[in-house]
Amino acid sequence: MQTTSKTVAVLGNGMVGVTIAKGFASLGYQVIFGTRNPDSDKSREALAAVPAARASSYDYAARAADLVFVALPWAGLQEGLELAGPANLAGKTVIDAVNPLLDFETGSPRLAVGFSDSAGELVQRLLPQARVVKALNSITVGHMIQPKLPDGQPDMFIAGNDKEAKQEVAAILKGFGWRSAIDMGDITASRLLEPLAMLWISYAIQRQHWTHGFSLLGQATAQPA
Ligand SMILES: NC(=O)c1ccc[n+]([C@@H]2O[C@H](COP(=O)([O-])OP(=O)(O)OC[C@H]3O[C@@H](n4cnc5c(N)ncnc54)[C@H](OP(=O)(O)O)[C@@H]3O)[C@@H](O)[C@H]2O)c1
């Protein structure tokens, strides 16, 4: 993949934010973390892990960005996106990896929404003018970038309302080492992609095994309408 002069704002500097920031830096993106406190120990750790990155408020990072990656916890999602400012994200591609998980710490996680709503749709509602693409939620953080599984390269399921944004994300996923991005349709397909993460998590917890991923055999050449 060609390198780029684009800036990506990574909202959240936890495990996912840092991993994704490294991935974008490897593709030549300028990385800016959005955080509630750029001077916190956690921010300093994130910057030490991704030396080329900067850290700022959510609002500044969102304004500076060409592209945005949401790596916020479910509990902080609405607050983080409101701080980022929906107007700052108008027209921009926003990759959403959030799983709406409750009770993860108890070892029996469950989805907070499903059937009639999803985190992906909430992100799109909170950012009505952004081009939200659900992606990278159905894999563990350790395999988001250059996933190396013993029996091949996995595929990543994605969803979103904007075809161009999905093409942009599919190219990024290629750069991150995924075999293909499988477009499942508009953002309401997050209702399928988020339970898929639960399937991943349940398999992991039952077997105490953290190195699996999904791939789809016999893929169609046709894309969703
Ligand atoms: N971990 C995985 O393997 C994995 C895999 C797929 C998807 N995901 C999804 O990716 C997202 C991020 O996961 P993570 O493991 O990186 O999360 P995390 O370690 O908890 O970090 C999230 C970051 O969000 C920021 N934040 C903003 N508002 C917050 C609030 N109210 N409470 C707590 N933190 C807040 C914090 O940064 P500041 O305090 O600096 O603002 C924090 O560093 C989650 O939605 C998760 O479901 C995770």
Whether residue 14 is contained in a domain is answered as yes
Give the integer Cα–Cα distance in Å for 194 and 129. 22
Range of the domain at 75: 7-207
CATH number at residue 119: 3.40.50.720
Whether residue 50 is contained in a domain is answered as yes
| Strand pairing report for 110-111 and 101-102 | antiparallel
Tokens at 64, concatenated: 């500076």
Q: Which of 10, 15, 16 to mutate to test the pocket of ligand 1 (most atoms within 8 A of CB)?
A: 16
Whether residue 145 is contained in a domain is answered as yes
Helical segments of 135-221, H only: 163-175, 190-207
Query: pLDDT band for position 100 (50/70/90)?
Result: very high
Q: Which of 39, 72, 101, 176 to mutate to test the pocket of ligand 1 (most atoms within 8 A of CB)?
A: 72
Share of the chain above pLDDT 90, in %: 93
CA-proximal residue: ligand 1, atom 35 (nearest): 76
Give the integer Cα–Cα distance in Å for 11 and 21. 10
Give the integer Cα–Cα distance in Å for 185 and 21. 26
State how far the alpha carbon of 96 is from the alpha carbons of 56, 59, 81, 104, 200, in Å.
Answer: 20, 17, 11, 19, 17
Q: What is the pLDDT of residue 198?
A: 97
- Number of folded domains that form the chain: 1
Whether residue 143 is contained in a domain is answered as yes
Q: What is the pLDDT of residue 2?
A: 52
